[in-house]
Structures are given as C-alpha cells and as structure tokens.
Amino acid sequence: MAPNTATLRPDPTFHPSPKLAMEAPVENFAYTLLLSPDHSKPDALAVIDVDPSSDSYGDIVHTVIMPNVGDEFHHFGWNACSSALSPLTGHAFYERRYLIIPGIRSSRIYIIDTKPHPTEAKIHKIIEPEELFRKTGYSRPHTVHCGPEGIYISTLGGGGENGTDGPPGVFIMDCETFDILGRWEMDRGSQEKHYDFWWNLPRDYMVTSEWGLPPQFENGIVAEDLLSNKYGHQIHFWDLRARRNVQTIDLGANHQMALEVRPAHDPSREYGFLGVVVDTTNLEGSIWTWWREDGKFHIEKSATIPAEPADADDLPELLKGFGAVPPLVTDIDLSLDDKFLYVACWGTGELRQYDVSNPRDVKFVDSVHIGGIVRKTPHPNGQAFAGGPQMLEISRDGKRVYWTNSLYSSWDKQFYPDGVPGAQVMANIGEDGGINLAEDYWVQFPDGYGAHQIRLEGGDCSTDSFCYPSV
Amino acid sequence: MDALWLAVIASGMFHGLNPGMGWPLAVSAGLMERKDSALLAALVPLAAGHFLAMMAMVLPFALLTSLIIWQREIQIGASLLVIAFGLFRYINRRHPRMLARIAPTRLALWSFAIAIAHGAGLMLVPIYLGLNNSAAMENSAMGQNVMAGSEFLVSSLGMTLLVSSVHTIAMISSGGIAAWLIYRIVGLKYITRSWFNMDAIWAISLILVGAIGLYSAI
C-alpha cells in the first residue's frame, strides 16, 4: 500500500492559469544543478538565495552532494506542479516538494526532498540505473514533467551499453512512491531519437524533439555526423492519452538538433516554439513556430540568427575550418504570458529576447552579450563569464531571467577548451521588454563545478503545465 | 420515506459539489471556448455519465428484488458491500490510474467511469433499496394484495429510473451552480480554494450509508 501523503488543500504554489501564477508571490530560492565535468567529484544541487532583501542574496545557502560520481546532472523537475489542478482529476492534494534529478550519463535518478525548508533539502530516494533499464529498456533520462499519469521523463538512449539497442522514449514514474511504472509510448511511429517534450493537457497532445543518440554526444559532438546531417531534425506530435504518435514533421535534414519544446502556457493557445541548434548550410540557429489547425500540426521557421565571422586563430579546433562562430541556439524559454521568448546563443555569447505575441510574426526586441567563443564579453561587474548563456529560467512574473553557462561536459571542452567554470547571472526585464544584466547578481560556484539547469522555488516558466486559460 | 427521498437529493448534491465528479470540467469548457454555452454543454455529458453509472449500480439490485422473500438478505448484503467498499476507500486513498487515460473530450465516459470507480453509484444502493421496500410495504398497507414477483419487478425498475433521475438532477444542478459561480461570479482564482480533500469524508459517507441501510434491514 502506498503511503498516504495527501494534503487537505491543494498546494498554494499550484495555479489554475498562467496569469494567476504570474500574480503569485515571487521566488526566494533558485535550485541549480552542479556537475563535475571530469567526474572527479560527485554532482550536487545548489540552493541559491534570490531574495534581494536578504543578506545572503546571490549566495549558495545550501548544497546537497550526491553519494556517487559521474552522474552528469543536466535537467530536472518537480514531483507535482500546477498540472495537478487538472479538472479531470479533481484531486490536487499533492505537495510541490520533491525534485526529480536524473543523471544523464549514469541513468541514476535522485529524488530530493525540499521540505521543510529549501536550506534543509536532502536525498529522499535514489533509483539505481538497473531499475530504469529493467523496467523501460531506456537509458540517459532527461526532461521531467508532471502530468495526468504521474511523472513523465524523457530519455536520450535505448538499451545496451551504448544506449542504441532500441529507440529512446518517455517513461512514467509514480508521483508518490517514485516507482518506475514503465514505458509511456504505445505506438511511436517513426520516432527514433529523443530530447525534450512538453504538452497541452486539455487539448491532449504531446510534442517531442530530437538531439542525437548517445554515441553522438557522450564523447563530444561528432563532426562527421553533424556535417552529414545525422543528428535529429524532426518534431513529433502525439495523442497524449492514447500514447500514440499522430504526426511527424521533418524540418529538413540541414536543421540539426531540434532541442527545446516550448508550448504556449495558456492551454487555449494551440501553438508553441522549437529551437534548432545549427543549420549545417550556413551555421545559423533558428526558432520555429508550430501550431495545430483543424486537427493537423504545422511548423515554420520564424526567426534565424546568423553565424558571426571570426579568425581561425580565435576559434577552437572544431570550428577552425568554418571561419565563423555559430550562435548555437541551445535553450529557449517562454514567459508565462506567452509574450517574450528568450533565446540562448551559447556560441556567440548572447541572450536574445523576441516578442512572440503573434507567434507567426516573431519580432526581435533586445539582447545582451556575455561570454562567447570569440567575443568573451565580461559581466558588467567585471568578472569573466566562461561559455555563453545556456540554461535559462524566467521568473513567474516575467521580470527576471536567470541563466547558467555550461552545455554538456564533453561539448564544453570542444567549444570552450579553456573550461567552463559554473556561473549564474540574472537580468532584469523591462515592462515592455528590454534586458539589463543585474550587476549585483553573480553566483560563485565551488571550484571544479559546472552549472546547468535552474529551477525556481514554487515553479517557473519551464516546469508548470496549466489546465485553465488566463482570463 | 420522505427521509429517504431527502437522502437521494442530498447524495446528489454531495456528488455534484465534489470537484472529483466533474464540475471543474464545465468551468474549463466555458473558459477554453470563451462561451457560456460551452459550460452548459459540458454539463450534459457529465449528467448522462453520472446517470448511467447510477443505473448500472442500482439495476442489478432492482432485478434481484423480484426475489421478494429474500428482500431482507439482499438489503443486508448490499449494505455490507457498501461498507466494505467505504472501508477500502478509507484505507486505500489512491485513485485508479486508468482513469487518467480517458481523453478530455470523452466527458460522458469520464463521468461514468469516475462515478463507478469511486463508488458514487454504490452509495445510492442502500437508499434505493430502502425506498423500494417501503414502496412495496405501502402498497400492501393500502389493502392491496401483496404484489406478485413480476409486478414488483416492474415497480422496482420504475423506482430505479426515478431514483437515478432525481439523484442526477440534484447532482448536476449543484455542480452546475458551483461551476457557474467560479466561471461567472467569483473567478478562477477560487477554483482551487473551493477544493479540499474529500477522500476521507467520501469513504466515511459510504460506510455511513451502508450502516444505515444495514440498521434498517435488521
């Protein structure tokens, strides 16, 4: 029998609509994943104080260090979010309490308890890789979302040592016991690669994207595979409850690595965005808008970001032959009002802000430069920022954007051979757009650690799924 | 007998106001379509599913009642069944995961499955049996001959329809009013403030209804 962890009232951090989430109290803590790029130290979860009125503003106030090495922390998510308020369950008596942290390299999954207080976060449960392999045939767990059947987690690898025995996919975990229940897909169609996923809960569809198979990323980017367009370039649309792939759209093979999927937060809006890392014909990055019309899905390229010419001497080995720096669109994030899309250009060291109020007429608004392969723009406080803007997180009220600088350990070494020590910065957003780096926000991470995804206390712009429109 | 009819209506209102029986879906429909009529239209399949679930649970007992001489045993058995299910729900508060696989567009099926799975239909059985028996007794008290099995069956089936209808009307009116209040008057912010965990209360009401049924049979 399962433990009875039910609460009497819904968690106050669950919100029916994105608008109500924006009006809720702001975040006081940011959780950030730390990884040891050479696997010499255990990975960790850092809890950062982001309350400007606090004495420890911008400091790490607590760290949970894992008992293993080589996990490679990447993305993570909550055990429960606003999706618990689905009108189909009428049973929202869970707590937003546990962080689900997969090790993308080890396939181990940590469940971290953040109660009674973020500064007392501790390990609640560890799911060993063998359990994942045995129950799902998948490996390298990645994106975490909570939804109708529990916690959904995407994976990048199939079975076997290289993760190439069978396609990767999504599996389901019980949101109370954290038992792995099994594969989600019943009919995957032509889907053979995986990366990110998200959905529209009332409209009952899921959208998944493609990076590459484990041999294409674990030991670094494989230049031959990239130049022969062998990384993922498709987007898949699924019937969520029927667990069936209903449509696959190929972006064109030159659009390599279709990563982050960002649907409109308002579920009455049936569109969303997708970031593509690089176009192999001209090295540009691109933003795509997908939408559903009369039951069919469509997608079009809605913005491009050109590569910047550079001297071969300033470029790492991998890029010398190209004489240019690709922007490398490695993360995108959408504000809760579905107004601004933020785009991380990890190669050129730029964070861009687009107005996407009209999703098919995407307008550039503003950008800031920080880091970058060639530009190497320092932070306004004078500190050097290694790498470039990578994992983004927007506050619920849309007024602050936080980001870190590491992409993936083995890729960091190829694009930034001097290393990417962890850094986290924050920018303030103007009422009608405009990005300004906050000079007084600079998180100092412990030596030897890189920093990846950020989660904000009480939910943020890439965790919660809403079941009611903003009215 | 009046008290039993009151119980039919009260249980209907109890089911209707429980967010787990679907009124938030009507709110969602109204907001997603941005139309008042969409809210009202969602109430129809929700009511239909609930009505069918009531019929599905009560009907087997209606058929059994043609065995007039075992009337008492049937009532005791039904009451014990309801108590047992209530105890089960009290101990195991988990909600069947299969329900999460029903598509949001299939509201009638959803409403039917939810009402069956949570024992909403079962809750009505002891009340129904009480009504049915007192109707039979009233007939004999009025000086008519004791009804033949087949006559009693016809009257039982009529009672099934009546009880399920009255219950469902009470259910969908109270749920509909709750949905309208959130949708039109107080706002979405209050949707979750109106939710509190009814699992324990729900299980206890099953046990209570079963116990009353048992008491009246013995």
**pLDDT at res. B28:** 96
The total domain count for chain A is: 1
Nearest to B32 among A1, A148, A202 (CB): A202
How many CB atoms lie under 10 A from the CB of residue A219? 10
Give tens-digit pLDDT for A25-71. Answer: 999 999 999 999 999 999 999 999 999 999 999 999 999 999 999 99
The reply to whether residue A149 touches residue B100, judged by beta carbons under 8 angstroms, is yes
Would you say A206 and A219 are in contact if contact means Cβ atoms under 8 Å apart?
no
In angstroms, the CA B98 to CA A324 distance is: 53
pLDDT above 70 coverage of chain A, percent: 99
**What's the token pair of residue A449?**
């650690």
Nearest to A468 among B28, B102, B199 (CB): B28
Distance from CA of B60 to the nearest CA of A (A): 28
How many CB atoms lie under 10 A from the CB of residue A358? 10
In angstroms, the CA B17 to CA B20 distance is: 9
**pLDDT at res. A93:** 86
Cβ burial B59-76 (10 Å sphere, 16+ → b, else e): bebbebbbeeeebeebbb
A78: closest CA among A470, A456, A466, A467? A456
In angstroms, the CA A305 to CA A343 distance is: 10
Whether residue A468 lies inside any domain: the answer is no
Angle at B196 between CA B194 and CA B198, to 5 degrees: 130
Closest alpha carbon within chain B to A91: B20
Residue B27, domain extent: 2-217
Q: pTM for this structure?
A: 0.95
B111/A contact by beta carbon, under 8 A:
no
How many CB atoms lie under 10 A from the CB of residue A300? 11
> Which residue type, as a one-letter code, is found at position A294?
D
The total domain count for chain B is: 1
ipTM at complex level: 0.90
**pLDDT at res. A456:** 98
CATH (domain of A360): 2.130.10.10
Whether residue A470 lies inside any domain: the answer is no
**What's the token pair of residue B148?**
């033949």
B115/A contact by beta carbon, under 8 A:
no
Distance from CA of A131 to the nearest CA of B (A): 21
In angstroms, the CA B11 to CA A429 distance is: 52
User: DSSP code of A103?
Assistant: B
- Which regions of chain B are under pLDDT 70? 1, 68, 140-149
**pLDDT at res. B141:** 64
What angle in degrees, to the nearest 10, is found between the helix axes of B120-141 and B107-117? 80
When pLDDT is averaged across residues A262-272 and rounded to a whole number, the result is 98
Whether residue A467 lies inside any domain: the answer is no
The reply to whether residue B197 touches residue A467, judged by beta carbons under 8 angstroms, is no
**pLDDT at res. B133:** 82
Whether residue A10 lies inside any domain: the answer is no
The reply to whether residue A90 touches residue B21, judged by beta carbons under 8 angstroms, is yes
**pLDDT at res. B140:** 67
On average, the pLDDT of chain A sits at 96
Give tens-digit pLDDT for A410-451. Answer: 999 999 999 999 999 999 999 999 999 999 999 989 999 999
Give tens-digit pLDDT for A78-131. Answer: 999 999 999 998 678 889 999 999 999 999 999 999 999 999 999 999 999 999
Distance from CA of B80 to the nearest CA of A (A): 23
In angstroms, the CA A319 to CA A325 distance is: 7
Closest alpha carbon within chain A to B195: A9
- Residue of A297 and B196 predicted with greater confidence: A297
Distance from CA of A112 to the nearest CA of B (A): 23
The reply to whether residue B197 touches residue A93, judged by beta carbons under 8 angstroms, is yes
Position A4 pLDDT exceeds 90: no
The reply to whether residue A90 touches residue B195, judged by beta carbons under 8 angstroms, is yes
Residue A242, domain extent: 18-456
**pLDDT at res. A3:** 46
A2/B contact by beta carbon, under 8 A:
yes
Task: Give B34's contacts in chain A (Cβ within 8 Å).
Answer: 268, 469
The reply to whether residue B188 touches residue A241, judged by beta carbons under 8 angstroms, is no
Whether residue A324 lies inside any domain: the answer is yes
The reply to whether residue B25 touches residue A204, judged by beta carbons under 8 angstroms, is no
Phi and psi torsions of A232, nearest 5°: -65, 145
B93/A contact by beta carbon, under 8 A:
yes
Closest alpha carbon within chain B to A201: B104
In angstroms, the CA A371 to CA A342 distance is: 17
